[in-house]
Amino acid sequence: MVVFSLVIVDGDGATSYVWVVDDTQTEPDYGEVLEAAAAAAA
């Protein structure tokens, strides 16, 4: 499973992340997603 994020910056300069999983047939590893989100926010 590969998880990556799309970084979206709106007109006000606020940044948000949309997490995308390339394998929709299996349950994503939410621990990995949360760790990646924490790393991206750091």
Per-residue pLDDT of the chain (42 residues; tens, 9 = 90+): 566 777 878 888 888 877 777 766 766 677 877 888 888 877
The domain limits of the chain are 3-41
Could you list the beta-strand ranges (E) of 1-42.
3-9, 15-21
Surface-to-core class of residue 17, CB atoms within 10 Å of its CB (0-12 exposed, 13-18 middle, 19+ buried): middle
What is the amino acid identity at position 36? A
Q: For residues 19 and 8, what is the distance between their CA atoms, to the nearest angstrom? A: 11
pLDDT at 2: 67
